[in-house]
Structure 1
Amino acid sequence: MAPSIDKPVAASPIDKPVALVIGASRGIGRQIAIDLAKKGYAVVVSAKSTTDPSALASLSPFPPDPNSALSTITTVAHEITTLHSGTALAIPCDTSDPTGSSLKILIASTIKAYGHLDVLIYNSGAIWWSSVSSTPLKRYQLMQRVNADGLYAAIQFALPYLHESTYGGRIVVVCPPIYSRFFRGKTAYAMGKVAMSVLVKGLAMDFERESVKGMAVSGIWPAVAIESAATANKQEEKHSELRGDLRHATIFSDAILGVLESPAEKVNGKLLLDEDFLREQWGVKDFEKYSVVKGSRPRRIMPRVLPDLTVEEQDDEGARYDSAKERKKKKGSKL
């Protein structure tokens, strides 16, 4: 059952599916927003970084480097509307807000602008790769707020509208498959990202248990490193030697579009890798077109075989206990 929240007054709904991309100012998020718009979605582009609209005309070249600080939600929305004749709106949001109010306002603003919400893409993320002893508590807490907590809040506020979607509410989360090697050397970061993967798995089980039709939540992660602001910084450190191991962000957006176009039951609860999903589910054979350096063979960063998280007793739920229902009973008994 969808959580109850105070709903804003909806505008006259736009006659096309609406996608909210959180973490869409640069790199992967920008590409996802652009490709969704090209597919006919009305897109809300969200992140913290913005540009004064009066400065858009002076930006040269336009669009700016998608992996630079000049690329913001303002420039991405402007790029969609002017260069691709799409429908887009830039709404800033701070996913690190511990109260979740910034995300609540974002969802309400999306509904006010477009009247409905059909797809939520959560690409926002904070990164700090180091050992536990070298990860300050403040840095750890920031990662949890942006990664796991931000995702949870976004889903909580979006679910009532996704449940009402006539297009079939979908959630796609940028989070990894769960396997032990992922923890090495970046435990604090992995704690948040794996928590996001657990949320994908658990929410999918909720959908199945409650017989929710047409809805799905999926996680997706790159099999090969993707060109982004983070990889650009590494390139500066090691010159251009890493470029041969990079792919364009288009592989990731192609995979997400494939997830959205797949039957809900085929992708619900799945933790996918972009390359493997495109090959196995959509028959893609040519991956060279995604290479940043033509003719290169980028090194795969993810395992080819991942562990199965299910157990023999998977379907045995035992005696179920629902804290929310028990609390309602207690409140009712006091009336």
Structure 2
Amino acid sequence: MPPSIDKPVATSPIDKPVALVIGASRGIGRQVAIDLAKKGYAVVVSAKSTTPPSALKSLSPFPPDPNSSLSTITTVAHEINTLHHGCTALAIPCDTSDPTGTSLKDLIAATIKAYGHLDVLVYNSGAIWWSSVSGTPLKRYQIMQRVNADGLYAAVQFSLPYLHESTYGGRIVVVCPPIYSRFFRGKTAYAMGKTATGEGDGVVTRKGGMAITGIWPAVAIESAATAKQMKETPKHELRRDLRKATIFSDAILGILNAPAEKVNGELLLDEDFLRDSCGVTDFEKYSCVEGSRPRRIMPRKLPDLTVEEQDDEGVRYDSAAARRKGGAKL
């Protein structure tokens, strides 16, 4: 049976679109949350890392380095509420690796209780381990699957009842790569989970007004993940090949502003979408080092995964419906 959703009553419904950003304590997720708030969204900032409220006053500098462990959902929400006039943010912790999904279910319930509705879900949470199969312990692989694939599935499933009711259209944006064979080289276990998230676009493609979209950087973005690489590579050399996280948040804002039918089910690259659909021509402003030309890490042309019989689904079998009628045992 589908999971039961006990809809909580909002303490004070808010009259603006609500966006939940999961994986928003640092780097890309932090920037997305900030820019959504600047554009008029009430934002829920979620991840595992938190800071005791009593420690906020002692943070110096503030805001902390967005790619360091000092940046948490508490500091991000505080940054939005105090440094950006008229912006609204709430920090709600969540563990996307929870195998029961309870943490994500509670997150969605807390969002509704606080704001009354949910209009945008951004799933940026990700566990990273780049190595060969022989170099990836089974436990590490299982953690990545729980965070990258299972966590997304749970977040989408528990969000759908509210996204269907959204008066703003209901959007899901997933940070996931388009699928092509080269992506699996040298990081097979990680790629298995991340490309699986890209296949989630089937969940709402037939719901009018809603859309689910995958987005991935064409050029590496400065983040907590790339910060780890700086320990082995001179910082000034590495940053020449990096872009600011603002290119990613700009692309997500562009996706949310686009007609649902234009972005629904698409797996996009930030630079290409901004150029082709948003009219952006100046990408130098996104470079971390002025005057540099960061190397593109994604193919310029991606494979088309559709087939000639794309719209021919034949006779569809619904296991959930069959079970309700007593016809299925699993």
TM-score normalised by the chain length of structure 1? 0.95
Task: Give runs of aligned pairs for residues 256-271 of structure 1, distance below 5 A.
Answer: 256-271=252-267
Q: Aligned-pair distance for 1:21?
A: 0.3
Q: Aligned-pair distance for 1:133?
A: 1.1
Q: Aligned-pair distance for 1:9?
A: 2.1
RMSD: 1.3
Match of 1:38 in 2: 38
Cα deviation 1:8-65 (Å, max 9, x = unaligned): 2233420000000000000000000000000000000000000010111111110000
Cα deviation 1:303-325 (Å, max 9, x = unaligned): 00000001112122122211111
Q: Greater shift after overlay, 100-109 or 228-237? A: 228-237
Match of 1:13 in 2: 13
Q: Distance in 2 between matches of 1:312 and 1:119?
A: 32
Cα deviation 1:84-139 (Å, max 9, x = unaligned): 02100000000000000000000000000000000000000000111111111100
The match for 1:223 among 198, 218, 232 is 218
TM-score normalised by the chain length of structure 2? 0.96
Q: Aligned-pair distance for 1:3?
A: 6.6
Match of 1:183 in 2: 184
The match for 1:284 among 277, 280, 288 is 280
Task: Give runs of aligned pairs for residues 1-335 of structure 1, distance below 5 A.
Answer: 4-85=4-85, 86-200=87-201, 202-204=202-204, 207-208=205-206, 212-240=207-235, 241-330=237-326
Letter in 1 for 2:210: M
Q: Aligned-pair distance for 1:330?
A: 1.5
Letter in 2 for 1:276: D
Q: Give the unaligned 5+ runs of structure 1.
A: none
The structure with more helix, counted as a fraction of residues: 1
Q: Distance in 1 between matches of 2:93 and 2:50?
A: 7
Q: Greater shift after overlay, 123-132 or 10-19? A: 10-19
Q: Distance in 2 between matches of 1:103 and 1:264?
A: 25
Letter in 2 for 1:233: K
For 1:248, what is the secondary structure of its paired residue?
A: coil
Q: Distance in 1 between matches of 2:62 and 2:11?
A: 32
For 2:69, what is the secondary structure of its paired residue?
A: coil
Q: Give the unaligned 5+ runs of structure 2.
A: none
Q: Aligned-pair distance for 1:287?
A: 0.2
Q: Distance in 2 between matches of 1:4 and 1:176?
A: 31
Contact 1:173 / 1:220 at 8 angstroms: preserved in 2? yes
Q: Distance in 2 between matches of 1:158 and 1:9?
A: 15
Q: Aligned-pair distance for 1:154?
A: 0.3
Q: Percent sequence identity over matched residues?
A: 82
Q: Distance in 1 between matches of 2:209 and 2:13?
A: 20
Alignment size in residue pairs? 325
Structure 1 consecutive aligned stretches of length 4 or more whose deviation exceeds 6 Å: none
Q: Distance in 1 between matches of 2:25 and 2:133?
A: 30
Cα deviation 1:242-286 (Å, max 9, x = unaligned): 110000000000000000000000000000000000000011000
Q: Distance in 2 between matches of 1:135 and 1:184?
A: 13
Q: Distance in 2 between matches of 1:318 and 1:257?
A: 36
Q: Distance in 1 between matches of 2:281 and 2:179?
A: 26
Q: Distance in 2 between matches of 1:234 and 1:331?
A: 53
Contact 1:3 / 1:159 at 8 angstroms: preserved in 2? no
